Amino acid sequence: MERKIKAFELWTYRRTLRFSWKEETIKKEVLKTMNLNSTELLRSVKKKKKLSYFEHTKRHKSLQKLLLEGKVDGSRGRGRRRKSWTTNIAEMTNVRVNATAKAVMEREDWRSMASNLFKEKEPS
C-alpha cells in the first residue's frame, strides 16, 4: 500500500508539471523541479494518524491504553530491544513520553503541539 501512495504522489507531481508518462522522467528530477527532497505524503499521513490515535488511546480508559502502559511479566529476550510505539511518538514530537501523556490530557495543548509539528516541516 505504501508503494501505491508514493506512486500516486509522484504521479500527481508529474501531472502538475505536465510531464508526459512517455518521457520516463526520473523521480529525482521530478522532486527537484518541485523543490522537494523526498516524498512527503506518506510520512505526513502516518504521523498525523499515529499522533491522533495516540491521543485517543491515552485519553480513554480502554484495553489499548492498558496494553500501551502495562508491563509484561517474565524475562526480557536477548538482543537489541525493538523500538516501541511510545518511543516512536516521543521521537516525532521531540518531547519525552511522560510529557506527551500530560499534554494529551490537555486537549488544546496537544492539538497545538501536534499541528506545530507539521508547520515546521512544510517547504517554503
Query: What are the tens digits of pLDDT across the range 76-96?
Result: 778 888 777 888 888 888 888
Residue 122: predicted pLDDT = 47
Going by C-alpha positions, the residue among 107, 70, 106 that lies closest to residue 85 is 70
pLDDT band, very low/low/confident/very high, at 118 (cuts 50, 70, 90): low
Burial status of residue 58 (CB atoms within 10 A of its CB: 0-12, 13-18, 19 or more): buried
Residue 71: predicted pLDDT = 65
Residue spans per domain, the chain: 2-33, 44-70+80-121
Q: What is the pTM of this model?
A: 0.56
Going by C-alpha positions, the residue among 113, 119, 105 that lies closest to residue 51 is 113
